[in-house]
Structure 1
């Protein structure tokens, strides 16, 4: 049997924007936009990028790179990252073009009103301009406008609307590299959601395992969108951050199976990384449930079991954070099976 090939890495929107910037600024200063450019990533790697669009105008130049996210299921894979540069005094400045958002809420690493181009991509583009300026004996005074055609529609599939990034996507990346199926990006999004909630003065947030539990919890408590943290399987990533960046009240919502794992001490709730202990469920229920295939089957057999799961999960969460905590356990249809508040 042949070995499974390794998953292919890709490039962040920040790396693509930097490559397009490097090509466009060369076009601005020489009248020729190269077919490919090499850039330096924050950790020293020097990948090359093909330039898929090249346009010269009076006092400006524009280049584009098509994002390759490798084997990661990234919603921006295949998107065109287009950069226009023009001479402008005052060093390097940034503008959001079509499909790139603006920051509208505090708590993100970019100030309110600024284009949603994160600090590391800005530094990468600064460096690319400086290197080109030294090479071509120019002054690095340029305005960089980043656009992503169709970015506003793509952004609806991301956390951006909830985080207060309006009008499009963010230009992201701390290393320039997209690592396939990495948990880091999801956990980082949870952290940014907490930052935004705190900066907006929210006193109650909710982390849920999926869309159904999120809908139920949001309706139950009347919470705004930006109070809802897309916890998914990453209970530990959310709770550890909340321990360091507290909010007064935290609700955790999810299906009976995932919350049973949380109740039993798991903080990564993915099926590949934690399992329900049915012997322990049996102890909680006072009868043998080891022949059950699922926690939901066990809960159907013992109607009081979800309440015990909710109570035990609440104890676990209270052991990790200093907050008022409630736990909402649902079934697949979204019916609340238990709600532990004290």
Structure 2
């Protein structure tokens, strides 16, 4: 078994931003083979340019997506940008061939907009602004040849994204997801927390949850680690490293799976989010009409307004209690577990009493009534 570190890649958002910047540079008579773009966190990323050339009113740029050692369906595809320079100092981003459009609510982008997430939009805008002449703006059209065909192999059709792929990425970097190596790369986080003297740890499935836990609620950064999809694996290792208590802190879409006893949360492994939500809604006395609406939703974000409309928000606390109970059962009672469920924006939807105790002991700033 090789100990060689797994190679990181770049997101579709990084590719789109780099292609847009290369297009502007070509328009200015400065064709490039490499550009530097900034991630939403301000990290400089160097991206090879496969091709760029000027046009009468702008330019074209192309990047070959490199997913590193991640088994990504988009690895090796071409992502391009057609940029038209305008006299209005604004950046307008459009979906071209192979880029999807959002048709259903509950996603990070409003209905009717190109399926280009906020992180990539920030990167594209910054990359173009950095090299535009003063007082000029641009219309940026992102293109993914064969994107519509590839999208059929993703969750986009279920999510209501039509016409192509989504341009995504919250950090601009693809972390390799090959199972065993990636799982093993996560475990040292627990070792570090233990070495710092903690016997309590906060598990967040992703970076967004990690940032919310630390920056909004004041949980100690040293005790908050990412689990990715491997919540069960990380719980087992929390036991091995002598942790006493775990606070699960994440978005409804991940935590609701744990409530159903699903501890590998990738959608290709198991996905009963809406079914689980509907079951606990029914247990809490929701009418059949509410259950039908939940099951007709595309995402848990889209289900939230339905839950509010039927005055069923207490179901989130029940789901948090259930997630904690399933996690405790998963490790045969060798951990105390509390759970917090949040929205993508970081608002707390539900939590259990154990979460209050762990969070309070770790010094969070959650009001008593939350």
Instruction: Find the aligned partners of 1:98 and 1:116 in 2 and give their Cα distance.
Output: 12
Residue 24 of structure 1: CA displacement? 0.3
Aligned to 1:40: 38
Please state whether the residue corresponding to 1:39 is helix, strand or coil.
Answer: strand
Q: Which runs of 5+ in 1 are unaligned?
A: 195-205, 230-241, 251-258, 267-273, 278-315, 323-342
Q: Do 1:261 and 1:276's aligned partners in 2 also have CA atoms closer than 8 Å? A: no
Aligned to 1:93: 92
Residue 168 of structure 1: CA displacement? 1.4
Aligned to 1:129: 128
Aligned to 1:105: 104
Match of residue 50, structure 1, among 36, 41, 48: 48
Instruction: Find the aligned partners of 1:125 and 1:186 in 2 and give their Cα distance.
Output: 20
Bigger-Rg structure (1/2): 1
Q: Deviations over 1:278-336 (max 9, x none)?
A: xxxxxxxxxxxxxxxxxxxxxxxxxxxxxxxxxxxxxx99xx968xxxxxxxxxxxxxx
Q: Do 1:18 and 1:39's aligned partners in 2 also have CA atoms closer than 8 Å? A: yes
Instruction: Find the aligned partners of 1:151 and 1:207 in 2 and give their Cα distance.
Output: 34
Instruction: Find the aligned partners of 1:154 and 1:248 in 2 and give their Cα distance.
Output: 40
Residue 62 of structure 1: CA displacement? 0.8
Please state whether the residue corresponding to 2:83 is helix, strand or coil.
Answer: strand
Residue 14 of structure 1: CA displacement? 1.0
Instruction: Find the aligned partners of 1:41 and 1:227 in 2 and give their Cα distance.
Output: 27
Give the direction of change, closer, same or farther, for the CA distance of 1:75–1:225 in structure 2 (3 Å limit). Answer: farther
Within a 5 Å distance, the mapping from 1:16-31 to structure 2 comes to 16-30=15-29
Please state whether the residue corresponding to 2:44 is helix, strand or coil.
Answer: coil
Give the direction of change, closer, same or farther, for the CA distance of 1:155–1:248 in structure 2 (3 Å limit). Answer: farther
Instruction: Find the aligned partners of 1:8 and 1:110 in 2 and give their Cα distance.
Output: 30
Q: Do 1:12 and 1:177's aligned partners in 2 also have CA atoms closer than 8 Å? A: yes
Instruction: Find the aligned partners of 2:314 and 2:98 in 1 and give their Cα distance.
Output: 36
Q: How many residues align?
A: 244
Given the two structures, how large is their TM-score scaled by the length of structure 1? Answer: 0.57
Residue 185 of structure 1: CA displacement? 8.2
Give the direction of change, closer, same or farther, for the CA distance of 1:156–1:184 in structure 2 (3 Å limit). Answer: farther
Give the direction of change, closer, same or farther, for the CA distance of 1:186–1:73 in structure 2 (3 Å limit). Answer: farther
Instruction: Find the aligned partners of 1:225 and 1:164 in 2 and give their Cα distance.
Output: 10
Q: Are 1:149 and 2:145 counterparts? A: yes
Residue 157 of structure 1: CA displacement? 2.8
Q: Are 1:226 and 2:224 counterparts? A: no
Given the two structures, how large is their TM-score scaled by the length of structure 2? Answer: 0.53
Taking only aligned residues, the RMSD between alpha carbons, in angstroms, comes to 4.4
Residue 123 of structure 1: CA displacement? 1.5
Residue 213 of structure 1: CA displacement? 7.5
Q: Do 2:95 and 2:141's aligned partners in 1 also have CA atoms closer than 8 Å? A: yes
Residue 79 of structure 1: CA displacement? 1.8
Instruction: Find the aligned partners of 1:95 and 1:213 in 2 and give their Cα distance.
Output: 31
Q: Do 1:208 and 1:214's aligned partners in 2 also have CA atoms closer than 8 Å? A: no
Residue 227 of structure 1: CA displacement? 5.6
Residue 16 of structure 1: CA displacement? 0.9
Q: Do 2:252 and 2:300's aligned partners in 1 also have CA atoms closer than 8 Å? A: no
Give the direction of change, closer, same or farther, for the CA distance of 1:186–1:74 in structure 2 (3 Å limit). Answer: farther
Match of residue 184, structure 1, among 191, 206, 209: 206
Instruction: Find the aligned partners of 1:159 and 1:52 in 2 and give their Cα distance.
Output: 28
Instruction: Find the aligned partners of 2:12 and 2:163 in 1 and give their Cα distance.
Output: 16
Instruction: Find the aligned partners of 1:176 and 1:132 in 2 and give their Cα distance.
Output: 20
Residue 103 of structure 1: CA displacement? 1.4
Q: Do 2:23 and 2:61's aligned partners in 1 also have CA atoms closer than 8 Å? A: yes
Give the direction of change, closer, same or farther, for the CA distance of 1:104–1:35 in structure 2 (3 Å limit). Answer: same
